[in-house]
Every structure is written in C-alpha cells, then in structure tokens.
Structure 1
Amino acid sequence: MAYRQGLDAETVLQAAIEMADLQGVEQLTLAALAAKLNVKTPSLYNHIKGLPDLRKQLSRRGLVLIKEAMVEAAIGKAEDDALLAAGFAYVMFARKQPGLYEAISSLPDYEDPELQEAGSQVVLFILRILAPYGLSEEDALHVVRGFRSMVHGFASLEHRNGFRMELERDESLRRLLQTYLRGLRVAVK
C-alpha cells in the first residue's frame, strides 16, 4: 500500500492531538482522524497499530509534555517557588491541551513500560524539587501523591465547569498551592 506523501506517524499523532483537544479523547475515532487527514482509515495502519495504540501514544506524549511544561516553569526556582510554578504549569497544561490531559488522566494501560517510564519521569521531577525539604523517600512520595491529587482535582473541576463563581481561578489555585506548601513546611520541621 502506498503512503500518502507527507503523512507519517508524527503527522498522524499531531492530528489526533488537535482532535482530542477540540472534541475530547473519547470522541476520537480512526474514521474521523482519517477524514481529517484526507486518507482512508486503513491508511492509518501504516503509522499506528489501531485506536488503543493511538491512545497510548497520546497518553505518552501528554506525560512527556506536561513534565516539560513543569520543568520549564520551575527552571531557576527552588523549593516552594519551584513547586508552586510546577503546580501552575500542570493546570495551565490541562487548560491549553484538554484532550491530551484527558489522555493522561485515563491511561489506557498502566502496565505498559513506555507509559510507566513517562509517568516515572514526572514523579522523579517532583521528587527532585522536594529533595531540599529533607523528606524520607516514603514521605516524599506521599507529598507527590498529594500534590498530584490537588492539581489534578483543580484541573478536572475547572475543565468540567466546576468553578462557576465570579472569582479569579488562578488566585484560588495560588492559595490552594500555598496552603499545601505551608502544611508541607510544618510537616518537615
């Protein structure tokens, strides 16, 4: 079968990301993706192994990009400032790339080594931020879990229009993160 000139795995993935961000990852189908790319659905199989593979690729790309966003936000910062910046970057990523964030939130296969590695890189980055706090490994992992629960919960509520009051959401996020950081400071004393 001939490949359409200019169509490659990256082009397919980028089109899928655009569709997921506009319509939601659950609405993404191979037929719709093929139509967007102006090819027949079977042509996609030259670049992906099917819808489960595409969703895995979306999840992996999302994990890589959310980590990159947090790293970029935290560069030049340390401790509280770095964690605050990483928290904001997490929520901003969810705002800017809602479909890709949804792909992260609903990982298709928790046992997949590529997804485990990408997820581990996110955790390791937060652990590096936490290193100056002098936490034990177990305590640091609990802090990472709490941090993720907090920013994921905020991003999810925001995405589902859970914040309807006329109140600045970024200010709410800042206060939430600062409260968490104050609690962390008390815990490490």
Structure 2
Amino acid sequence: MPRVGLTTAVVVETAAQMLDERDGEGVNVASLAERLGVKPPSLYKHVDGMPGLRRGVMLRAKAELAEALGRAAIGKARDDAVRSAAMAYREWATAHPAQYRMAMRAPVSGDHEDEDVSATLVEVLYTILSGYRIAEEDLVDAARFFRATLHGFVDLETTGAFQLPRSLERSYERSIASLTSALHSWGEP
C-alpha cells in the first residue's frame, strides 16, 4: 500500500535533507525509500531514478537560495542589501553544503525548468545590485564578481580550508566591505 502524503516534493525534500546530513554521500533510491518508509519502486512514481532525484534537489536548491537572498535584501538598498544577501548566502550555504554545491551548477541547456530557476537567481542578484546604478552592459560582470567573492569564501569555509586562528565572521565582514567598496566604484575609469 502506498504511503499517504508521499509527493514528489516530499521525496525531493527528504533527499535534500539526507544529502546535507551525509555531505552528499550515500544517498540513493534504496536509502531514500528506507527513510520514507516505502519500497524503492514506489519512488519511481515521483522521480525518474537518481538522475531525476538529483535534478529535483538541484532545482529546489537553486529556488531556495534565490528565495533566501531575495528575502534578506527586501526593503534594503545598496550596501545594506548586499550585506544582508551576503550573510543569507553564507548562512544558507553552510546549513546546506551538499545542496549548495548543486545550486552552483550552470543550467542545463534545453532544461527549461532549470533555465527558469537559474534565471530567477540571477534576477535576484541583479535586483540586489540595482542600487549601485551599474550600467546594463556591466551588470553580468558585477554579478559574477558578487558570486565569485561569496562562493570563494563559502567554498573554502565549507571544505575546512580556513585553519588560521582568526574569526571567520571578521574575515567575511571584511570581504563584504571590500565587495561593497568595489561596487561603489564599478564603472568608474
């Protein structure tokens, strides 16, 4: 008998939680089915095997990250928006390390759902950066700079690369301050 309330969203959410708990290791249809209390074949009604499960988690992760950034920056502008979004970015990425790695993937060409959710994430970044009045032709560069700065820090942090006896919070705050300083001068000769 199928489990009542089992939906694609529940399957994907549970897989995402398991990925974070296990740092991306050991999640497969069998372990997911066991966690959900169902037989593995019943999951195929909701996802197309492991590729479909990975895709579902990736789409969910991109959407959640976009939502976290947008929620953090709403009602704020310029430095306040960037700082709030940067803090939300780090918080989300460190709370969901395996999902974060999946969210950083470029969209698969021709996968309209992936292209749409990725475009939403980019639009959130553009909105956050809009207060700096960056010329449209420079916006992609500014968004890449924003992402590269935050991703570089978070990636090093989540892989344990920061071992020197210095507060990570202080270092991250300084990175954000450097980021906002650069954004103020963006487009100047």
The alignment's TM-score, normalised by the length of structure 1, stands at 0.91
1:154 aligns with 2:180: no
Q: Which residue of 2 aligns with 1:97?
A: 96
1:129 aligns with 2:128: yes
List per-residue Cα deviations over 1:120-143 (Å, max 9, x = no partner). 111111111222322222211100
Larger deviation, residues 43-52 vs 24-33: 24-33
Larger deviation, residues 108-117 vs 163-172: 108-117
**2: distance between equivalents of 1:172 and 1:75?**
25
Counterparts of residues 1-189 of structure 1 (less than 5 Å): 2-106=1-105, 109-189=108-188
The answer to whether the 8 A contact 2:108-2:115 is kept is no
The answer to whether the 8 A contact 2:134-2:186 is kept is no
The Cα shift of 1:33 comes to 0.7
What is the aligned-residue RMSD (CA, Å)? Answer: 1.7
The answer to whether the 8 A contact 2:90-2:150 is kept is yes
The answer to whether the 8 A contact 2:61-2:99 is kept is yes
Structure 2: runs of 5+ lacking an equivalent = none
**1: distance between equivalents of 2:143 and 2:85?**
12
| Number of equivalenced pairs | 188
The answer to whether the 8 A contact 1:52-1:108 is kept is no
Residues 18 and 6 from structure 1, CA distance in 2 versus in 1: closer, same or farther, beyond 3 angstroms?
same
The Cα shift of 1:13 comes to 1.3
The alignment's TM-score, normalised by the length of structure 2, stands at 0.91
**1: distance between equivalents of 2:181 and 2:37?**
53
The Cα shift of 1:60 comes to 0.9
**2: distance between equivalents of 1:41 and 1:121?**
33
The Cα shift of 1:26 comes to 4.7
Q: Which amino acid in structure 2 is aligned with residue 176 of structure 1?
A: S
Q: Which amino acid in structure 2 is aligned with residue 153 of structure 1?
A: G
The answer to whether the 8 A contact 1:66-1:93 is kept is yes
Residues 8 and 187 from structure 1, CA distance in 2 versus in 1: closer, same or farther, beyond 3 angstroms?
closer
**1: distance between equivalents of 2:162 and 2:10?**
35
**2: distance between equivalents of 1:184 and 1:75?**
19
Identical-residue share of aligned pairs (%): 34
